[in-house]
């Protein structure tokens, strides 16, 4: 059998290519196979690269990582390493400990400096100053404005709950699954 590409040398390498679900068999000589292989290296996908970057963590953390799972969408860290894509926004929180270094390697920084959504900007305001909220609560109680005080108390509770959730995620709690 002669090489499918040059048609001159005998084919010694047999290759099966799958592109968009279409299977294609190629029979190549050694020289053309080498050229083809260089071409295939260039197509080496982004997900492979990302998986490679994430791989850095492996030696000491393998056990912890293997049980890590996003509570919102059930994507595991192992899934992420395989496909190079996160499952949902909450994955970032669930895998925070490992994604921080990864983002830093990709972007050279892991701190967002761009715009903040209008909605979150509003929601952030009370969150920024827990101390202020506590002070306000104190004042409301002193002034016997109990309805207002209850509202502020709920805000504080909500904030604390969120904070502890975030802390847990930072620790990469293996029980989070």
- Packed helices 96-107 and 146-171: angle between N→C axes, nearest 10 degrees: 70
| Residue 50 C-beta: closest distance to other proteins, Å | 7
| CB closer to other proteins, 110 vs 138 | 110
Least spacing, CB of residue 29 vs other proteins, in Å: 25
Q: Retrieve residue 78's tokens.
A: 């192992």
Cβ at position 64, least distance to other proteins in Å: 20
The nearer residue to other proteins, 138 or 164, going by C-beta atoms, is: 164
Nearer to other proteins among residue 9 and residue 168 (C-beta)? 168
Residue 115 has phi, psi (to 5 degrees) of: -70, 160
Torsion angle of C-alpha atoms 56, 57, 58, 61, degrees rounded to 10: 170
Query: Residue 44 CB, nearest distance to other proteins (Å)?
Result: 12
Q: Among candidates 23, 25, 29, which has minimal Cα distance to 7?
A: 29
Biggest distance spanned by C-alpha atoms of the chain: 96
Instruction: Give the interface with other proteins as residue ranges (CB under 8 A).
Output: 20, 46, 50, 72-73, 75, 83-90, 92-93, 99, 102-103, 106-120, 124
Which C-beta is closer to other proteins: that of 58 or that of 105?
Answer: 105
Give 11 or 169: the residue with its C-beta nearer to other proteins. 169
CB of residue 78 vs other proteins: minimum separation in angstroms? 14
The residues with which 13 forms a beta bridge, in sequence order, are 28
Q: Which pair of structure tokens corresponds to residue 125?
A: 């305001």
Helix boundaries (H) for the chain: 30-42, 46-55, 58-66, 77-83, 89-94, 96-107, 118-128, 130-142, 146-171
């Amino acid at each position: 059998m002669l090489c499918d590409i040059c048609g001159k040398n005998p084919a010694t390498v047999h290759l099966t290519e799958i592109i968009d679900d279409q299977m294609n068999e190629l029979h190549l000589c050694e020289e053309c196979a080498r050229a083809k292989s260089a071409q295939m290296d260039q197509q080496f996908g982004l997900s492979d690269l990302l998986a490679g970057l994430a791989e850095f963590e492996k030696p000491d953390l393998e056990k912890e990582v293997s049980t890590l799972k996003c509570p919102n969408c059930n994507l595991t860290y192992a899934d992420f390493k395989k496909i190079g894509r996160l499952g949902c926004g909450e994955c970032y929180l669930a895998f925070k400990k490992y994604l921080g270094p990864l983002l830093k390697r990709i972007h050279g920084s892991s701190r967002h400096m761009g715009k903040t959504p209008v909605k979150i900007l509003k929601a952030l305001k009370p969150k920024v100053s827990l101390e202020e909220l506590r002070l306000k609560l104190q004042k409301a109680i002193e002034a016997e404005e109990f309805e207002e005080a209850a509202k502020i108390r709920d805000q504080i509770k909500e904030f604390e709950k969120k904070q502890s959730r975030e802390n847990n995620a930072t620790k990469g709690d293996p029980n989070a699954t």
